[in-house]
Amino acid sequence: MILRTSYLTKMAAPMSAGEFPLKTKQTAVDLNGEPTEVACIHYEDYDFILATQLNKMGTMVEVTRDVVLQEMSAARPSYTTRVLLGVDEPLTHVIAKNLLSKLDTTKKILLSFSLKDNSPKVIQGLSEVIQTVVE
């Protein structure tokens, strides 16, 4: 059996496709003794955020931000989460919402995380790191 592989020698992006090349930002930090890498790729309609302590993608969650109006017209962010890959358990949704709680964006977020340590201290620290990488 012969396998044929073709490669694109030119890559053209339509002029109306938004910013090209994609804007990316990444950092590496130590959280509670665990080396942690965080990367963000900004697309026109969503952001892809990868947070890992295990050097792999891990659980993938789609997060959308909803606005719930409270009394006195104050807005409070609320999040809808959907697990796309990995174990769909309540803790996964709680971690995803807490990791993104400090972000001020209306774009959809595709979050992928694999953590050795998911203690509240690490989640809080990782949330701050994600905020610096995304904005």
pLDDT on residue 69: 64
Quick one: pLDDT at residue 108? 93
- Burial class from Cβ neighbours inside 10 Å (0-12, 13-18, 19+) for residue 46 reads middle
Instruction: Label the pairing between strands 108-114 and 46-52.
Output: parallel
How many residues would you count in the chain?
135
From first to last of its 135 residues, the chain has per-residue pLDDT tens of: 333 333 333 344 444 455 667 899 999 999 999 999 999 999 988 999 999 999 999 999 999 988 766 554 556 678 899 999 999 999 999 999 999 888 888 889 999 999 999 999 999 999 999 999 998
Predicted confidence at residue 12, as pLDDT, reads 45
CB contact at 8 A, 42 and 22: yes
pLDDT the model gives residue 102:
85
In this structure, what is the dihedral angle of CA atoms 90, 124, 38, 85, given to the nearest 10 degrees?
0
* Crossing angle (nearest 10°) for helices 90-99 and 120-134: 50
Q: Rounded to two decimals, what is the model's pTM?
A: 0.79
